[in-house]
Amino acid sequence: MASIQGFRGHAMVGARSTAAIRFQGSFLRVGIARIAFSSVETPLNKFGSLKSSSRMEPPQACNSTVALPLLSISEVTERLRAFHESGARNQEYMAMYSSIVGGVTTHPAAMVIPMDDHMVHRGHGIFDTAAIMDGHLYELDQHLDRFLRSASMAKIDPPFDRSTMRSILIETVSISKCTHGSLRYWLSAGPGDFQLTPSGCTGPAFYAVVIRVHSLPSPSGCKVVTSTIPMKPQQFSIMKSTNYLPNVLSKMEAEEKGAYVGIWLDEEGFVAEGPNMNVAFVSKQKALIMPNFDKILSGCTAKRVLALADRLMADGRLTGVRVGNVTVEEGKKAEEMMLIGSGVIVKPVLQWDDQFIGDGKEGPIAQALYDLIVEDMKSGPTTVRIPVSY
């Protein structure tokens, strides 16, 4: 029998199929063989696949083979469970809803989607999120409205109406028993084939995952750099689609340069946004300035910050709030700069490229806005806090 950490055995003769693969000018012939389990243990890596060093030599002959086990569905399930328990994942997944199975699971090993889902192999899907704070969903309705706008732009008709999807999301959080964390949800063109358009799909699919988070992100300062990765064109930048490769590459580029994230500029050279957060500035005249939303994602947290900033105007800490074009020069000369989004809340920026922002320290306005959002998450009005019954 196959073990969780590895499988015992050697390849029997009589491979069922063979494929030739060109590799650096030569051919590597891969045979898919049956496995007879005996006393010789061949280790698996943490992902459950064969360690190449233990089964394969560099491709020098056409008759090189690698033995692959044919797994039953129970063995696949067991290996998925072992993969999860190995610590390969660094987040706590508390529950998942899938319209494919029509229910919720609390077993992370079962939190899977079909490989032929067009969200997987074509990026034809959209998503959104909502924070879970003290047993309440924060800004669920605001995020759900944006979710449906994205669905329309992506030409995906939801399988349920808004009210039903909202109920599914709240009930999934309830089943998870998670009172602090994050709710993420996706709408895909659905599974059915590996073609380009969803004309052969069975229909759109709706998924949701609840992730436990033990603490809020820290409002500590960071460095950013100007991204050299091209920004998505407007049609796609205002849509929260699952096609995040430019965002990923921008973030990776920044990390390679010792920075937290990259900052995108639009085609006219104005400040746009970060890879998954908005940007805001405090001018030397104490005005809060945020780039226009017409070419970037309409951030729910950023819009809430704009609303709550009125309190800082009332007590004199801010002189005004403006949404408009922001030049790089204006941004780098600002008194404060900050990143805003559900994943960071409000995060001060201390340095942009080689330029320190203000005095190079966390500023009072960024901290005040962070505190206002956290207070809003914990005790805000019913328009932004939806109670969950556990």
DSSP string for residues in 232-263: PPHHHHTS-BS--HHHHHHHHHHHHTT-SEEE
Residues 114 and 202: their CA atoms lie apart, in Å, by: 12
Q: Which amino acid type is present at position 318?
A: L
Name the phi and psi angles at 103, rounded to 5: -170, -170
Q: Is 332 a catalytic residue?
A: no
Query: Is residue 180 helix, strand or coil?
Result: coil
3-state helix, strand, coil in the chain (%, to 5): 25, 30, 45
Report helix, strand or coil for 66: coil
Q: Count how many Cα atoms sit within 13 Å of the Cα of residue 55 in the half-sphere of its side chain.
A: 23
Number of H helices, E strands in the chain: 11, 19
What b/e sequence results for 112-150 when a residue is b if at least 16 CB atoms lie within 10 Å of its CB, and e otherwise?
Answer: ebbebbbbbebebbbbbbbbbbebbbbbbebbbebbbbb
Q: What is the 3-state secondary structure (H, E, C) of 100-118?
A: CCCEEECCHHHCCCCCCCH
CB 349, CB 97: distance < 8 Å:
no
Residue among 240, 295, 332, 347 flagged as catalytic = 240
Q: Which amino acid type is present at position 103? A: G
CA distance 109 to 107: 5
Look at residues 276, 237, 349, 338 and name the one whose alpha carbon lies nearest to residue 129.
Answer: 276
Q: Which two tokens stand for residue 160?
A: 């349920």
Nearest Cα neighbor of 184 from 204, 208, 160, 217 is: 208
Known catalytic residues? 240
